[in-house]
Structure 1
Amino acid sequence: MTATTSLPRLKFELLKTDPASHARRGTLTLNHGVVQTPIFMPVGTYGTVKGVMPRSLEEMGAQIILGNTFHLWMRPGLDVMASFGGLHPFEKWNKPILTDSGGFQVWSLGAMRKISEEGVKFASPVNGDKLFLTPEVSMQIQTVLNSDIVMQFDECTPYDTKGHITTEAEARISMELSLRWARRCQHEFARLENPNALFGIVQGGMFENLREESLAALVEMDFPGYAIGGVSVGEPKEEMLHIMGHTPHRLPANKPRYLMGVGTPEDLVQGVADGVDMFDCVMPTRNARNGTLFTRFGDLKMRNARHKNDPQPIDPSCTCHACAGTSGVSWNDGGREGFSRAYLHHLDRCAEMLGPMLATIHNLHYYLNLMREIRESLEAGTFTEFRAQFKSERARGV
């Protein structure tokens, strides 16, 4: 692939900061469009956000989605990806895409993989083939995918392995390996003349000093953007929140900050207050498929028998297709075209595919609308008030 100098690669503009927290409002310009931050990015592991058409994603306000390097390498493979000219035309999504490096998936293989200085050897979970994923191979795969944001190949530092909590010495070894891999990723990314943007990933487990060492080394390498990895990997919630509060605002103010794999609506609001610009998580889609729906007033468990005869929509204040139907207005505004909780409960009991599809549409709409409201509060200078109202409404319960 030949670099095209006319492409923006990445441009981050900081528009506003919140004086009472580390929250920021910005715009991120990438090769396939402009992203308003803070933003939540729906996860499309195999080149699709499960159960949602690309058009529906656009209608609900998705600006950038994820693809999974590891799984797309397995299936359909690089030959197919190259023949389509990358992931965008393959999945019919013409807005920005971020791809992870494969590091987390390799970590999740556990005993099936062997990590060395060079990379990771493992057996394909698809057909058992012996494979070797290195920083260079990760960059080569992501170049074929042509994602707007490419993530460095890193080792995801575990919190707990078979009952053994990772020590500081073990976390240091892992963090330093990721730093060496980061340099190799930069060199291969440049060699390939990839016209997109490469992010570095801050590691270091639950140890502040290691996080700061990792951060300082990556900043010296001058990546276009930075991610915070190795959280939401089994650690207690208070430790995750501690690292969330410690790390983001220490990253360069003129570059985007991405918190990987987090989390609940409460985590997103807190993460924004801590200085995060970008989030992703499988929670809204995975929980939807398991009958848990997020609403402004708390979470709904659609499998509970109490919903069997409930005529209400999932959330009367929501304007998603599941709640408001084609009218685009909530029940509070007189529109009654949406689907009832009783119907969603029925679909789940019968294992009808429309159930998780509608639930996924609702959950993603809720997450994306939450981020839109956060951006609006930052623009208006009312983020503190927004946080208080959000907390109060979520605590009220459905």
Structure 2
Amino acid sequence: MACDDVLGRDGAPIAWADAKLAAALSQLELALDGQPLPIDSPWLAAAFVQRHEDPEQALDAMERTASWRETSGAMEARRKISEDPQLRFLDFPFGQEVLKYLPQCEGGLATDQRNLPYAIRCPGLADANGLFSSITEDDLLLFQIYLNEWRLYQLEGHARSTGHFCGILIVQDMFAPEGLLNAWRKQGKKAGVMRKVTSMMDEHYPGIMEEVLLVNAPWALHALMKVIAPLLPPRIVRKIQFIPMDQTPTRLKEKIGPEHLPTFLGGEADNQSFVAARAALAGMPQLFLKAGGTEERSLVLEASDHAACSVAVEGGLDIMLDCRFEGQDGTIEEVFAANRIKDKGFSFMAIKGGQLILRFDNTYSWVKPKSIQYELAKLPEEAAPETGKVDEETEEADVA
């Protein structure tokens, strides 16, 4: 089943199960006439061959990365991780600062069905301003180098034991207690750092991110991606998938056993074993509506302001929702009529000053209270849609 062994400079073999990949690597080695591959990692060599059909292009990319690895600190990171495979985030340079301000976890209990570590990131809880008051952008890049060398070590071990080439699953939990749009306004000025990190990964660690799942994703995220996507390499954008709150548990359990998934992502594992900052917020809805109750939430808008709204009811339940706009001149416009929904997202452009008002109605339920995650906020100007009002998909209710 496995094909020819491919040796890196460290002499560690990987017997690739993919015959086409093994043949391409063998052809590349023959072209080098006995000279070793320029890259020190056999997994990375395979990644470059996977990306470039032309052997010369693959070799050129490897040589650029080999030069970068010598000067960036990647070789030193690889040496330290190889000497001590038990190194974790807190042991990486600036790991304590990064974990304090950018809540995340990877590995340990967070392993997928392939027994590979997977990552949980919580961008809605991030404090970029706090982070860069403690460390520099270069410091963060060095941390990311160590993290990717650690990932590379795990993937090489998996490839040696199975023969399979694969990458790391990245789970981005988009829950934001203050609203995703508010979080973006706070962090958006630091978006240039994200560009540096993702460009480094795309150029020097190809294939290391297999999928990026944006889970618990509110509708407003679609608008923000209009701003974010141009900052990312196209190959990384193609890996991104949006997964709304009601689909998050099911989609993640396709890849991760429930015992390795925290309850805040729909699993069965203790939240504290993953991301403590996120665990502290698990089960805290933004709106708790008693059985038989109603609530309204409003947003003041000026003419030409765009608003975005996302609503999701927890636990597979539903809520009656309607929306109206009350102009400062006393006029009332129905944005949409009352309808029972599990989730809904839309945008609205005000043609005059007034208030956009959401009405949550649970009077039809005599027994069940509802826990509701919602966001109602102005869109940043650069993320505003070209049209006035856009109604996105709504999953209709089928439970009482």
Task: Point out which structure has higher relative CO (alpha carbons under 8 A, 6+ apart).
Answer: 1
Normalised TM-score (structure 1): 0.31
Larger Rg, first or second structure (1 or 2): 2
